[in-house]
Chains A and B, each alone.
Chain A
Amino acid sequence: DAKTTQPTSMDCAEGRAANLPCNHSTISGNEYVYWYRQIHSQGPQYIIHGLKNNETNEMASLIITEDRKSSTLILPHATLRDTAVYYCIVRGGGYSTLTFGKGTMLLVSP
């Protein structure tokens, strides 16, 4: 599976949009971009995933560039409870597993 690069940490003010970038320049055509987050001392929580089209659900939006080499997870109105480590994972088609990197520590402040 392709490797991903994320910033180590980011800050966001409560109520503002949080935009979390992820680079995956070696992604191949059948690989999906997945986002999970992990609140301290809890199991990871699935957020969203996509192949090439932008995706939106009740939690977030996923914007994937046309060349698919990078993506951005958008939390439209961040709350204090969104403080967590966010993992961007590229996952191949078929029966590939999830490989967690170091992720981005997002701190949402009042």
Chain B
Amino acid sequence: GAVVSQHPSWVICKSGTSVKIECRSLDFQATTMFWYRQFPKQSLMLMATSNEGSKATYEQGVEKDKFLINHASLTLSTLTVTSAHPEDSSFYICSASLRRDYEQYFGPGTRLTVT
């Protein structure tokens, strides 16, 4: 149980384009989903928290207009990186939780490369 998937697993895009990453909880309903970013040889950094049906809460320093998060259902959250730049190249990981104070289950991650 508690399986979270992400799609795509890796993506290469050109600078200036937008990329959408999907995060799905496959066998449970996730009222809360989290998005993290991990640069090479660094730890995970929380970007934002989203609750189903409401606006995401972004961490300090994360541009909400650049990283659009939608959590329209209890099993799907999407992260759209708009007008991507090479410095947005990173490993993006989502997690899902039954409730915000329950343990989080992580997806396998999406490797984004912006050329």
Contact = CB atoms under 8 A, between A and B. Distances in A.
A8 interface: no
Contact of A43 (B43, B45, B46, B109): B109
Interface in A13-47: 34, 36, 38, 41-46
B103 A97 contact: no
Interface stretch (B12-20, B66-74, B75-83, B93-101): B93-101
B43 A103 contact: yes
A42 B43 contact: no
B107 A43 contact: yes
A95 B94 CA distance: 17
Contacts of B107: 43
B101 A93 contact: yes
Q: What's the interface size class on A, roughly?
A: 20 to 34
Contacts of A110: none
A77 interface: no
A100 B43 contact: yes
B44 interface: yes
A101 interface: yes
Contacts of A45: 106
B106 A97 contact: no
Contact of A102 (B4, B6, B43, B91): B43
A25 to B, nearest CB: 20
A99 interface: yes
B52 to A, nearest CB: 15
7 contacts: A41-B109, A42-B108, A42-B109, A43-B4, A43-B95, A46-B104, A97-B49
